[in-house]
Amino acid sequence: MAVNLVHTEGESNTSDARRAWADKAVGPKSAPLLARDADAFLHQSLSSPCVSTIEKAEGIWITDRDGRVFMDFHGNSVHHIGYGHPKVVAAIKDQLDTLPFAPRRFTNEPAVALAEKLAAIAPGELGKVLFTTGGSDANEVALKIARAATGRFKTISFWDSFHGAGFGAASVGGEATFRSHIAGPLLPGTEHVAPFACYRCPYGHAGPESCGLACANMVDFVLEREGDVAAVIAEPMRAVPYVPPPGFWKAVREACNRRGALLIMDEIPTGLGKTGRMFAFEHDDIIPDIVTMGKALGGGILPIAACIARKSLDVCGDFAIGHYTHEKNPVTTRAALATIEVIEEEGLVERAAEIGEIAMGRLRDELAHVPIVGDIRGRGTMFGVEIVTDRATREPGHALAEQIYYACLEGGVSFKISQGCVLTLSPPMTISDEDLHKALGVVIASIKAAI
């Protein structure tokens, strides 16, 4: 069972609810492996020690060693096309027999074909590519390109954002989990502003309707005051989930243009159709200067990420911006090519939009008047339900959310809690209507039972 299956943001490794679930749910086949895991791995928040095991992952399903089966509505955002898609598995096996590895100074057909494909599906002038093994590294490549292209080093990003766990990525990120316990300074020049639709805005805003473009104006204000910002780096839609207010990214794009800063869009969890468009920023009718992708790019099997920049930003030829051992790995790039083919051939971008309409419609129909539901929001196959103790103040309902979470696990639905109170639901784009409604039924019943 995936680590985050029962460990949520804001929850202690030793919370009463966690212990109660583990005592009841961890079976005799899982317990020995859990003990070995706790002994072998470094412990950290949101990860080790684990609370259960995983024996099988297929389609939308995960199964633990004791036979408990869950629909996975989390998947660390890698399972856009479900687990173990036959076409991706076949492509990987074939590539292993043909060419299993290539040193980066020697090119190969799958790597070049993937770079060409990404340039083809990306809009505008986005057409120069570099591959990494993870999204954090892809974001660091983007930051290096921005520095080289502008001759500046400062950045603007948003509090509560997540861009990876490396020092550079954590510096521009805004999640306390990845910043608060790092001794000493992070990167200099990493300015942060309040996120759009901040759920605890100090100015009393409760969402995009009341917030308008205040936070976009703050980006412009900081760009003007600093005067030497290389880039704004942001998630086009936060995976919490939070959808930007209309016109937000257009305002930020225009501000970047006025101030000579680049716009980097982190599409690592949202890209490849998850929100009902191939790239989430397409909802807002803008094109960034650089976009990063990852997570689902490897088909939910292999790790690969990409940085795609405007062709005019190919300015780093005289120095290294990312000498990665697996930069042009033929197996991971072949898996990514097969993943994109599946998404296109099966119409999964359009299917994601349809799933979102079905899910958001049912959640709003059945939960709109439930007193502990503060908000229902999302796009495509990234949607969520905010749990509160008071709808008027939007006071977060952390304990209620945890109660609902474990009730859903008992009902066979796994997901993630974000910010301690947001039930964050993100199914594969391949889920059937029948399974979608079954999972939503479990979530709705668990929320109503918690009143």
pLDDT tens digits for 354-399?
A: 999 999 999 999 999 999 999 999 999 999 999 999 988 889 999 9
Tell whether the model's pLDDT for residue 400 goes beyond 90.
yes
Tell whether 397 and 319 lie within a shared domain.
no
Low-confidence winner among 11-25, 65-79, 87-101 (lowest mean pLDDT): 11-25
**What pLDDT, on a 0 to 100 scale, did the predictor assign at position 58?**
97
**What pLDDT, on a 0 to 100 scale, did the predictor assign at position 183?**
65
Tell whether 132 and 212 lie within a shared domain.
yes
Q: Tell me how far CA of residue 73 lies from CA of 108, 412, 430, 442, in angstroms.
A: 36, 10, 12, 12
**What pLDDT, on a 0 to 100 scale, did the predictor assign at position 178?**
77
Tell whether 119 and 249 lie within a shared domain.
yes
CA angle (62 as vertex; 59, 65 as ends), nearest 5 = 140
d(CA 339, CA 298): 7
What CATH number does residue 26 fall under?
3.90.1150.10
pLDDT tens digits for 292-321?
A: 999 999 999 999 999 999 999 999 999 899
d(CA 188, CA 179): 14
Last residue of one domain, picked from the residues 320, 345, 370: 345
Tell whether 151 and 71 lie within a shared domain.
no
**What pLDDT, on a 0 to 100 scale, did the predictor assign at position 394?**
87
Tell whether 431 and 323 lie within a shared domain.
no
Tell whether the model's pLDDT for residue 32 goes beyond 50.
yes
Last residue of one domain, picked from the residues 291, 322, 345: 345
SS3 of 429, please? coil
Average pLDDT in the 248-253 region? Answer: 96
Domain hosting 356: range is: 3-81+348-449
Q: Is the dihedral of CA 387, 391, 397, 402 positive or negative?
A: negative
Last residue of one domain, picked from the residues 295, 317, 345: 345
**What pLDDT, on a 0 to 100 scale, did the predictor assign at position 184?**
76
Low-confidence winner among 33-47, 57-71, 116-130 (lowest mean pLDDT): 33-47
**What pLDDT, on a 0 to 100 scale, did the predictor assign at position 240?**
85
Average pLDDT in the 98-126 region? Answer: 97
**What pLDDT, on a 0 to 100 scale, did the predictor assign at position 211?**
62
Supply the mean pLDDT for the chain: 91
Closest CA to 324 of 84, 144, 161, 188: 144
Q: Which residue has the higher pLDDT, 192 or 23?
A: 192
**What pLDDT, on a 0 to 100 scale, did the predictor assign at position 284?**
96
**What pLDDT, on a 0 to 100 scale, did the predictor assign at position 197?**
63
d(CA 236, CA 219): 14
Q: Tell me how far CA of residue 30 lies from CA of 45, 55, 300, 414, in angstroms.
A: 21, 9, 23, 17
Tell whether 283 and 201 lie within a shared domain.
yes
Tell whether 219 and 281 lie within a shared domain.
yes
Closest CA to 142 of 11, 284, 265: 265
What CATH number does residue 298 fall under?
3.40.640.10
What is the pTM (predicted TM-score) of this model? 0.93
How many domains in the chain?
Answer: 2
**What pLDDT, on a 0 to 100 scale, did the predictor assign at position 27?**
86
Q: Which residue has the higher pLDDT, 9 or 26?
A: 26
d(CA 309, CA 255): 19
**Residue 271, CA atoms < 13 Å, CB-side half-sphere:** 26
Q: Tell me how far CA of residue 299 lies from CA of 75, 80, 265, in angstroms.
A: 12, 7, 21
Tell whether 396 and 413 lie within a shared domain.
yes
DSSP 80-104: TT-BT-HHHHHHHHHHHHH-----T
Tell whether 69 and 90 lie within a shared domain.
no
Tell whether 149 and 109 lie within a shared domain.
yes
**What pLDDT, on a 0 to 100 scale, did the predictor assign at position 4?**
37
**What pLDDT, on a 0 to 100 scale, did the predictor assign at position 33?**
94
d(CA 332, CA 326): 8
Tell whether 378 and 313 lie within a shared domain.
no
What is the percent of the chain where pLDDT is above 90? 77
Which tokens in the block code for residue 271? Answer: 């890209």
Q: Are residues 88 and 304 in contact, defined by beta-carbon separation less than 8 angstroms?
A: no
**What pLDDT, on a 0 to 100 scale, did the predictor assign at position 6?**
39
Tell whether the model's pLDDT for residue 18 goes beyond 70.
no
d(CA 131, CA 149): 19
Tell whether 132 and 57 lie within a shared domain.
no
**What pLDDT, on a 0 to 100 scale, did the predictor assign at position 5?**
40
pLDDT tens digits for 318-362?
A: 989 988 999 999 999 999 999 999 999 999 999 999 999 999 999
